[in-house]
Each structure stands twice: as C-alpha cells, then as structure tokens.
Structure 1
C-alpha cells in the first residue's frame, strides 16, 4: 500500500532543467488530454492512442538506459534519472487509466488480472512487434478490441485482453502471446519484412499458431530470436484469473486447490469528489487547504506554481490540521496517523484504485498533479477506522506487529453454525482502505465492506463443517 509518513518521499517530479524529461512529460500530457476529453475516432483512434503510448514508454525506457550508463561512467547520482523514472511511472498510470476505461471500470476483472509480480516496461523488438501484429490481425477477425497489457502496470497476467462490445454488455478474452522470428526479407523500397511465428495460449492449451509478416524500417533489423518453448508459462495464472472473473457471488470456488469464498459489494457510499474539488480550488488561492472526512480521513492539498518542494510540505498549517484531525477520533483506539500522497509512488503490488487521470476534477488540476505543481495528501487514522468498525458491531483490534497500522486492523467475529459458535478473523483491509483513500470514499465504505464479509461468514463456515464431515466419513 503506497502510504508514507513523510509526504516529501513521493514528490519528485522533473526539475525545469531536465529538458529531456520535460519533453517526454509534454507527450504524456498530450496523450492524457486525448483520454480525458475522449478525443478518439472509433476503434482506430483507440488503437492509435495505445500504440502512441507504447512507443512513448519505449522512448522513456531508452532514455533511462542511456542515463544509467552515464551514471555508471560519472559514478554519481543523477537528478535527470529520477525525473525520467517519474515520467515512466506517470506513463504507466496513464496506461492503467486507459485499461480502466476500456474494461468499463470493472474492478473484478482488473483485480483478477493483477495477481502477479510487476512487469517491466517492454522493449521494441521481435516480441513486441509480433504482439502488435497478431493483436491487429485477431481484432480484424472479430475477436474484439485488443488491450495491450504492456502499457499498464496493473494488468500483469497475459499479454493482451480482447474486449468485445455487444450492445450494453462486454465480454473479454485474455491470451498469452509468444513470438519467434522466422528471419527477415526485404521489399522493393528497401524496408525489412520480418516474418514471425506467433503462438497464442489460452488457459492450459495452445489455441492457435499463426505466421505474421511485419514491415519495419531496415535500421530496426535485429537477429532472429531463438524459439521460446515456454508457451504456457502463465497458463496457471491465467486460469486463476479467469476463475475469479467468472465466479458468482456467494459461491465457494476452487483457487489453486483452496476453497475460496467470493463476495460482491453494492456500496451506497459515494466519493467526496465535491470536497476534493473544493480543497484543490482553495489550495490554488492559499497554497494549502484541507477538510476532514469523518474522524478517519483528512484531505489536504498543496499548490505551488513553480513546483512542490520539500519546503512547501513543511507548512505549519498541515501540522496543526493533523493535530485537529487526531482529536476527532472519539473511539477507545489510539490515534495512529499515516499519510498517503497523490500522485502515488511506484509499489510492488498493483495499485487497485482509480488513477488520478480519471478523477472528476478540472483538467488543469490533473496536469498540475502530473507536473508536480499540485500534491494531494490524505491523512489516515487507523484508530478512527477501527472505532467506526466497532460501532458496526465488529470485534476489532490493531496488531502492533503489522505496518502500516491501517493494514494491521483485525476483525474477529463470532458466527453460529447449527448452534455451534465459530470465531472468524479477517486480516488486512488494505484493498478497501486503499479504495477509500484514493477515491475519497470515507470510513462508511470500509464499514460496508466488512459488513458484507461478515454476512458471508456463515457460508464459509458451512463449507468448512461440510468438508470436515466428509473427511470423517471418508475415514
């Protein structure tokens, strides 16, 4: 969870002197504006946006490799490298935003495709050319719009998800693609014609194998790649993701050999977007503004026309507001204050909440976030959250061994099955608390989530007792 008690730690946008990074940031801004204003002409426009973003990420990664080489030669740190990494991360979050839009904000699908280690930015080469070529080909065959996972940080299982729109419904198909170069040829214009053998893997089997010819400039020629025999490397993870996608609510499904309860939440809590817009507007006038959400969250914003600095966030006003915020906690739980920053820093786990590009705030504010002129700070009081959950009838404690404290909240409820009491514990509320933080939903949303889980405890316990009885009968 990208929480940090030091707001300075995550505010590191490009400096004005970082000209290369600023040029790249301008390209990110232009692409972001296309997404925010929905400036597309049909599927071709969406595909063009995706290819432009992928090309930009390749360009940023190329500049990072070059700057790393300079760092090794000079043997000293590089502010330019830090700026380039910021640009790379903002481009990845823009890719996540595109995925959220194409997948219809379907959290269940997004979560299912995120359960993997981080995937590095791809490089232009045989693999990427083959992936793009086969994606275009299969889209033309009616598979649907191809969403390339490489432009995102969130989509970590499979290589491309085809999305088909049928009226108001949406169907998806995620596949793994492996490319092997069959060698180059050339045409009359002197350009290279590369031939690829592309294997498409879906679930546990190889569904298709195609031969694709791609035209690229001759200076991009590379040596033919060696055959990749790991066609189904991600097949198990893909099978797990599809199981999650297709699972119905209030059902026990088998995930990796373990019975897993699926639940669904219909939340009545709304995001405090109006409050966020008000805080941002005030910060542009006064440099800083804040408001409280219940006794558990605080929204604050810093604005500096020439860029947020470490000195900016040392403003004494936030210290006083944090003290006032702590006093709002009327529960018996101690105050445990944390700070989350927007834009977020890179995390190993996928960030399963709406990217700031999709916030319903003025476009100017989104670009202020992109360039580091605006920073949004969310204060979190785990004690306040725990108190609210206790008011909802949960037995709550905060573990002293887990950090940050918002992930240390433990619910311990008693449910009765056939007259027998069972104690059920729920650890780590990281996902709903992240959503409450970065989508400004407040403590009621977290309480709705935990209430929903409690309502499903009886189903899980019935499964456990049934399974135990089956084992006894088997003996």
Structure 2
C-alpha cells in the first residue's frame, strides 16, 4: 500500500509539471504503467491468499474501480482495525485497496480452512490534540460493517472489549444508515451469496435464478508452448510458435527494454501469414492481438496475473521490467469454427469481437426452441491469458447448456405452482 501511495504521489507531482517539462508526458506514462503493475501484483496476492478460487474472487469484483487512497482518516482506520481484528482471531487481513480486482468491501479476513469474511470500514474522526512533545494524538471511531453468516465461527468483539468498543457486528449505528451504506450492504450480501453457492445447483440472487458451475479444466493448456517461446525469445531476441492453428505466440526480448519499434518487427506479419491460423477467406478472418503484461482497463481483469503464471521467475521479472513482451495473435474465425463444430451457432453480427459474443443451440428436438448464451468475453479472455486450449472454452459453454436443464426444471415447477394457485 505504501508503494502504491508513493507511485500515486509521483503521478500527481508529474501532472503539475506537464506544461513546463516536455519529458513529463513520457515519465507520466511510465509511472501509470508502474502503478498498474503494482495493482496487478496486489491481484496476484489476492489470488494466492484466496486459494486461486474464482468463486471467492469474482463476486467481489462487481463494482467500479477503486482509486488509490492517501494517508487520510479512512485509510488509517482500515489499517488500525485490520491489525486489531487480526489479533483477535479474525484471520489474515487482505486489504482490497492494494488490488484492482477486489472492489466490494475494504478488507477480507482470510482464515485457512474456515470461512473468510469481507467487511466495510467506516472511520469517524473524534478529535485531534497537539501534545507537549510536539506529537499529534488523533482519536477515531471505527465501525466495521459486514453480513452475518449463520455458519460463521469468527469471534465477534462486543462492547466489553475496551480496545474495540466501537466495533459493530452486523448492524451499523443510526448515523450510518444512509442510501450509500445500504447499497454497500446489498453488494456485500450479493457477493456472499455467490461465494456460498453450492456447485451445480440453482439459487435466487438479486431476484435472478443463478447457477454456480463446476467445469473440469486441463492443467496443461499451452503453458509448455509459452515457456518455449519465452526461452527462445530471451536467447534470440525474437521467437514465434503456433498452437491449435488458432494462436500465434510471439516473444520479443530486449535487455534494454522492449520498444514500440521492436513490437512492430516486420517478421511478425510474415510469421502470421505463414502460421496457418488464417483460413484464407478474408471475409471470415478476424485477427485479435493481446499482450502480456496487459494494459490497465476500467473493468476488472478476472484471469491470472502473470506474476503467478506457471513460468520461471526470470520470465516474471523480465515481463515486469518490460525486457520481455509476449503477444498473443488469434484468429477469431478459428474460435467460431470450434464452437460451430460443437453444435453452437455464432451470431454473425457479432463476429468482429468478443465484447458481446453470443452463441445459441437448440434446447430440445422441438423446432424453434433455442438456448442462447451471451457476453462470453470473460471466458474468451480466460482462455487467452491463462493459455488454455480451444476445448476449454467449449467445455464452459457445454457446462452452461447442462446447467440450463436445472433452470428449466425450476421454471416448470414454478409455473406448475402458479397454475395450481390459480395464477
């Protein structure tokens, strides 16, 4: 957190110099990239502490991005209460502010083998006093807000604890009952419900039928190919390899840092033409280009940060320091072919990108009844940035199709109940 605050402070200082220093723009760009790498490193810490479990991570990402805070009253309250509650048996405090992917709540207390707890912290300044020795004493009231879980075994701290007399369990004080607090409670409640869902069963969350799926995934993927590309790029400065006639992995290495000119290497175009990932039909081919490390985005990046990739430590450090860049060039047409071979129909109007990718499949033998699966971009990005195979994406959609049977049974039962009640 201190590191990220220092970076943010440097960015603020550099912004003030933009009119006077012509080099400030480049330095500002570099600082913002450093800030982003620090946030993704925070994401990596979150993935590790939460056991690489998407069911714990994804629900906490459904919110707007959180700015890096300063050394203000709110942040002091968060740090102080993190230490106190951890010492009282709540678990190890994972501070959401060091991450980009955890956007609901302020702290998640991690207890291996037990329930984790996400809390919102509200800090109120009581008074400040300048002491005789020149130091300043500041007193705060800190309120901890969370959703009470019936299965929760974490000890609650009551009014009898003099060190934490202002800590509340589930109900905030009256002056905290504001629309904003209510929305935060609703988001935490929804996140907790999603985290606690039983796999392959249906629940009602936010007034919507919701199903949590278990999808078996191969651990191999294209990791060996990625490691080979990295090794040879470091040795020769440039290397490419093809996977599944769909992905062209490009590794570019420069000891002094990979430049924009290096990325525009003409060999990339030549290797793409000779790779076999193009279908030969210009009306079908649609090329997507993705880079590792990634650039900052407004939405959360819900796939493994490169810090915890299955690669050597030297490769992680080279990626961090921009000595090494990996580019994934992919022909979307090959993705659509794989989906169509599996029996899915891809909406032709959505072939230019994955932001609104939608596929459909007949639900039954009855003509005209289809299942449609929309907004599959997240799963495509998982495939790209976690170096998965084409079959992994098909497996996810197959699991959705199977889960739809659970939803259909629920829908038919609900209709039968309504009809029995005369509705």
Aligned to 1:259: 209
Alpha-carbon offset, residue 89 of structure 1? 0.6
Shift of 1:327: 4.3
Stretches of structure 2 lacking an aligned partner (at least 5 in a row) = 150-155, 165-174
Q: Deviations over 1:329-383 (max 9, x none)?
A: 4999822110001111111110011111111222222121112111110112211
Alpha-carbon distance change, 437 to 62 in structure 1, aligned in 2, over 3 angstroms: same
Of 463, 468, 472, which residue of structure 1 is paired with 2:410? Answer: 463
Q: Which residue of 2 aligns with 1:412?
A: 360
Compared CA separation, residues 331 and 415, structure 1 to 2 (3 A)? farther
Deviates further, 463-472 or 106-115: 463-472
Inter-partner Cα distance in structure 2 for 1:377 and 1:365: 14
Report whether the alignment pairs 1:92 with 2:42. Answer: no
Look up the match of 2:337. 387
Q: Aligned in 2, Cα 1:69/1:212: closer, same or farther, shift over 3 Å?
A: farther
Helix, strand or coil for the counterpart of 2:325? strand
In the alignment, which residue of structure 2 is the partner of 1:31?
none
* Distance in 1 (alpha carbons) for counterparts of 2:373 and 2:276: 26
Q: Once the two structures are superposed, what CA deviation does each residue of 1:105-162 show, in whole Å capped at 9, x if it has no partner?
A: 0111110110111111111111111101111111111111110000000000000001
Determine if the alignment matches structure 1 residue 199 to structure 2 residue 147: no
Indicate the residue corresponding to 2:16 in structure 1.
Answer: 69
Find the residue that maps to 1:158 and give its secondary structure.
coil
Shift in alpha-carbon separation, 1:367–1:288, aligned structure 2, 3 A:
same
1:251, distance to aligned residue in structure 2 (A): 2.0
1:416 deviates by 2.9
Question: In 1, Cα distance between the equivalents of 2:185 and 2:415?
Answer: 31
> Mapping of 1:109-148 within 5 angstroms?
109-148=56-95
Decide whether the 8 Å contact of 1:267 with 1:445 is kept in 2: yes
Shift of 1:250: 2.1
> In the TM superposition, what is the alpha-carbon distance from 1:317 to its structure 2 partner?
1.5
Deviation at 1:193, TM superposition (A): 2.7
Render the CA deviation track for 1:263-301: whole Å, top value 9, x for unaligned.
221223523222111101111122211111212222111
Choose the corresponding residue for 1:334, options 259, 284, 288: 284
Three-state SS of the structure 2 residue aligned to 1:197 is strand
Matched, 1:104 2:51: yes
* Residue of structure 2 in register with 1:176 after alignment: 120
Given the superposition, is the C-alpha separation of residues 267 and 360 from structure 1 closer, same or farther in structure 2, using an over 3 Å criterion? closer
Alpha-carbon offset, residue 326 of structure 1: 5.1
**Alignment partners' CA distance in 2, 1:170 and 1:329:** 51
Instruction: Tell me which residue corresponds to 1:432.
Output: 379
SS in structure 2 of the partner of residue 70 of structure 1: coil
2:102 to 151, 155, 162: 155
Task: Tell me, yes or no, if the aligned pair for 1:204 and 1:236 is still in contact at 8 Å.
Answer: no
Equivalents in 1 of 2:80, 2:104: separation in Å?
20
Whole-Å separation in 1 of the counterparts to 2:23 and 2:415: 62
Return the alpha-carbon distance in structure 2 between the equivalents of residues 151 and 299 of structure 1.
Answer: 31
TM-score normalised per structure 1:
0.78
Q: Deviation per CA, 1:39-73: give whole Å up to 9, x if none.
A: xxxxxxxxxxxxxxx01111111111111122256
Q: Does 1:296 align with 2:246?
A: yes
What is the SS of the residue equivalent to 1:90? Answer: helix
Deviations 1:400-428 (A, max 9, x none): 4x75x2345422111239x7873111122
**RMSD (Å) for aligned C-alpha atoms:** 2.8
Higher relative contact order, structure no. (Cα contacts within 8 Å, ≥ 6 residues apart): 1
- Secondary structure class of the residue paired with 1:118: coil
Map 1:185-334 → 2, pairs under 5 A: 185=129, 190-203=134-147, 230=178, 231-268=181-218, 270-325=220-275, 327=277, 329=279, 334=284
> Counterparts of 1:454 and 1:324 in 2: how far apart (Å)?
37
Contact 1:164-1:170 at 8 Å conserved across structures: yes
Gap regions ≥5 residues in structure 1: 1-53, 214-226
Give the SS at the match of 2:301: coil
